[in-house]
């Protein structure tokens, strides 16, 4: 055992040894409102059509390595400019990893406002890259532009990640602030539009304006989380380089066929988004009525709220005991002290959550 431990320590990079694995709680049996999934599956007739389409799959053959057909559909569905290149990922997590793996040297710095999506820091750390987190403004989680300018100037980051809208805070940063960051950044700026379906704002149409802009998207939050498909659009010269380190066949055949199918049927997904947006408004209003709860406005499919008078760990546990799983951000400390995040579920799920929360706060 000791020999094994010393072998592990002698062979692996210290930054890997120092990491904790990304923890995903067991959610079986819970009302699952922790992971920003679309709560709706597909209607039965659409599932039948999908399964019929999957008959095209040839499991004995490798998938199309270039995802040719899928790329064409994505371009059309998301208005990717003709001149831009597209990189496909096994979720956008993989795209973040590909970008960071390609950076030159150990002294490359990665910067993002924080709190934000934890994988930017996690992947940078796993690769031994320096990560600079610039605190968002305390009261409204907007970009702190004087701090951003100063940190960009000092650290000259190779890559800046901006989640638009941001996770876990749910807000859209000011688009003029992002444009300024694009102008002053010495390196790449990745605008991560994971939640764009719920925000209706995008930097995709501005790709031609900035040759250091990469726009990253995922289909996870739109209802395809189980298929794992992310993509990134940007100047072809960048995408061609990143594509060299993408593993061949990273998008499997079932995902390619299923995503093409889902894009053909995207009216169904769009009507689910409309329901989620209506329910987000309702959930926001109901949360705002609860005593001792501060709710943050959201442009995504989840809502961040802060408990002003209750212990957030206790409330999180009580909700779990009641069969409802949300995300405890209080435990990550700092600016998120007292904060919990709930994904917008079906109306029934939202109601179960609200009832359990109101009971816990009253007890
Ligand atoms: N970006 C942001 C801002 C996210 O919140 C998430 C998922 N939580 C991702 C990217 C990753 O999504 P996926 O790997 O499922 O595409």
Gap between the Cα atoms of 96 and 2, Å rounded: 35
Distance between Cα 221 and ligand 1 center (Å): 8
Would strands 159-163 and 324-325 be described as parallel, antiparallel, or unpaired? unpaired
- Determine whether the shortest distance from the Cβ of 302 to ligand 1 is under 6 A: no
pTM, rounded to two decimals: 0.96
Q: How far apart are CA 263 and CA 129, in angstroms?
A: 36
State the distance from the centre of ligand 1 to the C-alpha of 359, rounded, in angstroms.
32
Q: Which DSSP symbol is given to 48?
A: H
In the prediction, which pLDDT does 131 show?
96
pLDDT digits (tens, 9 = 90+) for 175-228: 999 999 999 999 999 999 999 999 999 999 999 999 999 999 999 999 999 999
List, in sequence order, every beta strand (DSSP E) within 229-338: 230-235, 293-295, 302-307, 324-325, 327-328
With contact defined as beta carbons under 8 Å apart, do 246 and 88 qualify?
yes
Structural domains of the chain ordered from first start: 2-43+267-362 (3.90.1150.10), 56-265 (3.40.640.10)
Answer yes or no: is pLDDT of 20 > 90.
no
Q: CB under 8 Å to 346, separation ≥6 — which residues?
A: 39, 40, 279
Ligand 1 atom closest to the Cα of residue 229 is 16
- Which ligand 1 atom minimizes the distance to the CA of 225? 15
| pLDDT in the model for residue 105 | 75
Q: Is the C-beta atom of 117 inside 6 A of ligand 1?
A: yes
Cα–Cα distance list, 250 to 170, 193, 222, 256, 303 (Å) = 30, 21, 21, 10, 32
CA 277 – CA 221 distance, rounded (Å): 13
Assess whether the C-beta atom of 97 lies below 6 angstroms from ligand 1. no
Question: Nearest 5°: CA angle at 147, between 145 and 149?
Answer: 65
pLDDT tens per residue, range 122-142? 999 999 999 999 999 988 999
Per DSSP, the residues of 3-29 read HHHHHHHHHS-HHHHH--PPP----TT
- Residue 15: predicted pLDDT: 86
Report whether residue 167 contacts ligand 1, using a CB cutoff of 6 Å: yes
| Distance from C-alpha of 241 to C-alpha of 59, rounded to nearest angstrom | 30
State if residue 91 touches ligand 1 by the CB under 6 angstroms criterion.
yes
Residues 64-117 have pLDDT tens digits of 999 999 999 999 999 999 999 999 999 999 999 999 999 997 789 999 999 999
What sign has the CA pseudo-torsion 164, 42, 56, 60? positive
The Å distance, Cα 7 to ligand 1 centre, comes to 34
> What does DSSP say about strands 159-163 and 109-114: parallel, antiparallel, or unpaired?
parallel
Residue 21, pLDDT score: 85
User: Ligand 1 center to residue 226 CA distance, Å?
Assistant: 13
- Mean pLDDT in residue range 250-260: 97
Yes or no: say if 214 and 189 are a contact pair by the CB < 8 Å rule: yes
- Which atom of ligand 1 is found nearest the CA of 96? 10
User: How far away, in angstroms, is 91 Cα from ligand 1 center?
Assistant: 7
Q: Tell me the pLDDT of the chain averaged across its residues.
A: 95
Give 303-345 pLDDT, tens digit per residue: 999 999 999 999 999 999 999 999 999 977 788 999 999 999 9
């Amino acid at each position: 055992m000791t020999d094994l431990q010393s072998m592990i320590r002698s062979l692996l990079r210290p930054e890997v040894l120092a990491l904790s694995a990304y923890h995903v709680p067991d959610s079986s049996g819970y009302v699952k409102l922790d992971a920003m999934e679309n709560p709706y599956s597909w209607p039965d007739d659409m599932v039948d059509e999908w399964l019929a389409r999957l008959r095209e799959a040839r499991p004995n053959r490798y998938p199309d390595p270039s995802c040719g057909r899928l790329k064409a559909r994505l371009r059309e569905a998301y208005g990717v400019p003709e001149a831009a290149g597209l990189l496909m990922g096994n979720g956008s997590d993989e795209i973040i990893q590909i970008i960071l793996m390609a950076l030159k040297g150990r002294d490359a710095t990665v910067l993002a406002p924080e709190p934000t999506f934890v994988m930017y820091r996690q992947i940078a750390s796993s690769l031994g890259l320096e990560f600079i987190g610039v605190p968002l403004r305390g009261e409204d989680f907007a970009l702190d532009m004087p701090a951003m300018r100063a940190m960009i100037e000092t650290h000259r980051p190779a890559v800046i990640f901006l989640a638009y809208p941001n996770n876990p805070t749910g807000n859209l940063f000011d688009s003029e602030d992002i444009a300024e960051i694009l102008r002053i950044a010495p390196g790449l700026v990745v605008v991560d539009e994971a939640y764009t379906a719920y925000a209706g704002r995008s930097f995709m149409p501005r790709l031609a304006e900035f040759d250091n802009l990469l726009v990253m998207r995922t289909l996870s939050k739109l209802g395809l989380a189980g298929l794992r498909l992310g993509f990134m659009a940007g100047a072809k010269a960048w995408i061609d380089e990143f594509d060299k380190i993408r593993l061949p066949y990273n998008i499997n055949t079932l995902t390619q066929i299923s995503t093409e199918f889902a894009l053909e049927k995207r009216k169904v997904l769009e009507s689910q988004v409309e329901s989620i947006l209506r329910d987000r408004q309702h959930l926001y209003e109901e949360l705002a009525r609860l005593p001792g709860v501060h709710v943050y406005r959201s442009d995504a499919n989840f809502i961040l709220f802060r408990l002003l008078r209750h212990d957030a760990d206790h409330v999180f546990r009580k909700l779990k005991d009641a069969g409802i799983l949300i995300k405890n951000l209080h435990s990550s400390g700092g600016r998120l002290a007292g904060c919990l995040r709930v994904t917008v579920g079906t109306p029934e799920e939202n109601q179960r959550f609200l009832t359990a929360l109101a009971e816990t706060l009253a007890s």
